[in-house]
Amino acid sequence: MDLYQTIQKRRSIRSYTGDPIPREDLEKIIDAGRLAPSGNNRQPWDFIVVTNRDMIQKLSIAAAWSAQASAMIAVVMDTTTKYWCEDGSAAVENILLAATALGYGTCWLEGNALPHENAIKAWLKIPADLKLLTLIPIGVPVEWPETRNKKPLDQVLHWETY
Ligand SMILES: Cc1cc2nc3c(=O)[nH]c(=O)nc-3n(C[C@H](O)[C@H](O)[C@H](O)COP(=O)(O)O)c2cc1C
């Protein structure tokens, strides 16, 4: 699968078979996050990969369906850096695309996770001065949804001026 096909294929996947993910695939996926661009090359991130079922169950406080994930990635940012939000977002997208290329389903689980940030930080022993950007459940998808709800290209593409 080339990059454009991977971009086309990626979806937010919210149901998983529960099949395990080999450790080398998880390392490859995190490596894609590590290689993302960052402002001034600060790389202000850490990635926690959770495979322990009891902890995944706890983390599913963010969204019940995520309990079926085979792993959960917590993306942790140093918010004293100027571009932490952009940097973290670039890393997350790399992770989502790398996982898709390897055949796994993921979801950027931020809105539902952040109300539980303090509890999640305590469970994962994340230092108080760092921020949880998002959780990313990952698993073998039950299915790839066919439909997409995206604005058409001609609505968002402007040539030369707005
Ligand atoms: C910043 C951000 C926060 C998100 N938070 C959640 C969330 O809390 N729960 C969830 O189910 N999906 C979440 N999503 C996934 C979006 O719902 C999803 O990307 C969007 O509906 C488009 O669908 P697609 O990813 O399949 O293209 C989030 C996405 C982004 C970029």
Query: Does 112 contact ligand 1 (Cβ within 6 A)?
Result: yes
Q: Which tens digit of pLDDT belongs to each residue from 43-73?
A: 999 999 999 999 999 999 999 999 999 999 9
DSSP H or E run through 134: strand 131-139
Tell me, in angstroms, the distance from the centre of ligand 1 to residue 78's CA.
22
Query: How far is CA 92 from each of CA 67, 74, 95, 157, rounded to the nearest angstrom?
Result: 20, 10, 5, 24
pLDDT score, position 66: 98
Q: Which tens digit of pLDDT belongs to each residue from 131-152?
A: 999 999 999 999 998 888 999 9
The alpha-carbon radius of gyration of the chain (Å, integer) is 16
Segments of 58-144 assigned E as strands = 71-77, 105-106, 131-139
Torsion angle, CA of 149/35/38/103, rounded to 10 degrees? 10
Q: Which tens digit of pLDDT belongs to each residue from 104-119?
A: 999 999 999 999 999 9
Mean residue pLDDT of the chain comes to 97
